[in-house]
Amino acid sequence: MELKILKTDGKNRDFLNLIKLLDEGLNEKYGELQKQYNKLNSVDYINDVIVIYKDNVAVGCGAFKEHSEDTVELKRIFLRKEERGQGLSKIIVSELEKLAKEKGYKFAVLETGIKQIEAISLYKNARYTVTENYGMYAGNANSVCMKKDLWIKSKAL
C-alpha cells in the first residue's frame, strides 16, 4: 500500500469528488435537516486542503479555513467507507493541524453532527474537547462543536 498526501486547495477535482460523497452520506443520515448546513459547507474560499491517496486513488480529504486570527476551523473531513478503520482519518486531521501550526495558528475548532459517532470519537481521540457551539451553530441541538489547543504537547503514553 502506497500512501500519498497532497496539499492543495478547494478547487482540486479529487477533493470536490470526495466531498460530493460526503454530502450524499450526510443527506442520507440527516435528510431535510442537512439542508440548513449546506450554506456553511461551501468550499469556494478554502485554500488549505489535504487529499490522501492510497495506491494513487483519492480516498480521503479534509480542509480548514480561518475562523479567527489565531484559530482555524476544520471542514469537510471525509474518508470513503471502504477505507475506514485503518487510521487514515487520523492522518488527515494530523496533517491539517500541522499545516495550521506552520501558518501560525494556535487553535482548531470544528463542528460535527450528533449522529456522527465515529467522527466525534476520532476528534476526542485527537484531544479535541466539546465546547460551546459557535457562530452559525450556536443554539443548534444537532451540532457538536469541539476545540483543540494545537500547541499543547501530548502526554507520553
Q: For residue 24, what pLDDT is reported?
A: 84
State the DSSP string of 28-89: HHHGGGGHHHHGGG--TT--EEEEEEETTEEEEEEEEEEEETTEEEEEEEEE-GGGTTSSHH
Mean pLDDT of 2-27: 91
Q: For residue 31, what pLDDT is reported?
A: 61
Mean pLDDT of 143-147: 96
Q: Do residues 40 and 58 lie in contact, with contact meaning Cβ atoms separated by under 8 Å?
A: no
Q: For residue 115, what pLDDT is reported?
A: 85
pLDDT-derived band at 40, boundaries 50, 70, 90: low
Q: For residue 29, what pLDDT is reported?
A: 67
Strand-pairing partners, residue 5, are 52
Q: For residue 41, what pLDDT is reported?
A: 57
Q: For residue 43, what pLDDT is reported?
A: 64
Q: Whole-prediction pTM value?
A: 0.89
Q: For residue 136, what pLDDT is reported?
A: 87
Domain residues of the chain, as ranges? 3-149
Cβ-proximal residues to 54 (8 Å cutoff; 6+ apart), any chain: 1, 2, 3, 83, 88
pLDDT digits (tens, 9 = 90+) for 76-130: 999 999 999 999 999 999 999 999 999 999 999 999 989 889 999 999 999 999 9
Under CATH, which architecture does the 3-149 domain have? 3-Layer(aba) Sandwich (3.40)
Mean pLDDT of 130-149: 93
The CA-atom distances, in angstroms, between 24 and each of 34, 48, 58 are 10, 23, 17
